[in-house]
Amino acid sequence: MRLIIDTDIGTDVDDLWTLAMLPGLANVSLEAVTVVYGDTELRARLASVALSAMGIEAPVYRGCEHTMSGKAVMWAGHEGLHVDGLANAKYANGDAVDVLLEQAAINPGSLDIVAIGPLTNIATAVLRDPGFASNVRHLTLMGGEFTRGWPEHNFSSDAAATEIVLRSGMSMTIMPLNQTLRVMIDQSDTQRIAEAHPLGPMMADQAQRFWTWLATRTPFATGTSSAAHDPAALLMLFEPSLFTFTPMTIDAFESGDFDGRIRGIADESSLINVVTDIDALGVHEALLRVLGCA
């Protein structure tokens, strides 16, 4: 599989967990990591530190910093804290959107993109090259929410970009918040990961920083765990039997200006699949296995 991961690594530890899965996945050629949303220099350095620690030589490229919608970037303040080697980490020269276009045009129909942040890079690529959507084999998104009408972060952070991507005609699968919230990683898990993975101590440290912050923002957060949103999206490509998919037409949650909230209508002719059920225990076990905790 030729793969690009498009990420807003830094705030939620789940982006770091997702990159950490790569050594445990078979038959993957990581062509690049592209970063998006806000301080992309810091995000690129974080991704580079993670890849280097795992011996992965794929280049990291900075992408769009500002949202198409004009919505301010959310920044927690703990991003990059206590990450060894961050100041000296190197990333590749070049624009992430150009890289997305170039890689998609190489042997069209062979590139998978897993987008686990706001969709500004992907939407910009769609607008810049009309052939991009058909050149990509498949786009996997972590985003949206289908049961409560919640404004999920990735889709609502740049609703204008989300709308462009959802209307692009690209073959895609959506891993929504209402499913990923069913798979939690907690302190006992991070302790096991810390003992087994080259990034283990970094992941445990960054998880605790994120959990502490999350507990100040979310009433039901415990400060000792969080959902494996992004890792579940990547795992879906490799262990699809753990997931149930329903083709859907995607529409805005309600009339008025689109704010990233969506609803789906079952439609067998749609090119968009939505994960509508998961084997939550199986996904949790598979993630730990991929991270070296078998």
Per-residue pLDDT tens digits for 177-228: 999 999 999 999 999 999 999 999 999 999 999 999 999 998 888 999 999 9
pLDDT at 260: 93
Measured CA to CA, the distance from residue 138 to residue 146 in angstroms comes to 21
77 Cβ contact partners less than 8 Å away, ≥ 6 residues apart:
213
Measured CA to CA, the distance from residue 23 to residue 28 in angstroms comes to 9
| Among 254, 237, 228, 104, residue whose Cα is nearest residue 172 | 237
Residues 284-289: what's their mean pLDDT?
98
If one counts the domains in the chain, the total is 1
| Among 12, 8, 9, 10, residue whose Cα is nearest residue 210 | 12
Inform me whether the pLDDT recorded for 294 exceeds 80.
Answer: no
Per-residue pLDDT tens digits for 149-185: 999 999 999 999 999 999 999 999 999 999 999 999 9
**Contact status, residue 291 vs residue 254, Cβ threshold 8 Å:** no
Residues 94-103: what's their mean pLDDT?
98
- CATH number of residue 163's parent domain: 3.90.245.10
Per-residue pLDDT tens digits for 37-76: 999 999 999 999 999 999 999 999 999 999 999 999 999 9
CA-based R_g, the chain, Å: 18
Domain that holds residue 91: 2-290
Both tokens of 112, joined, read: 């998978």
| Segment (H or E) for 35 | strand 29-35
Amino acid making up residue 41: E
Total residues found in the chain within this entry:
294
pLDDT at 253: 73
Both tokens of 185, joined, read: 């990683």
Confidence of residue 255 (pLDDT cuts 50, 70, 90): low
Residues 80-98: what's their mean pLDDT?
96
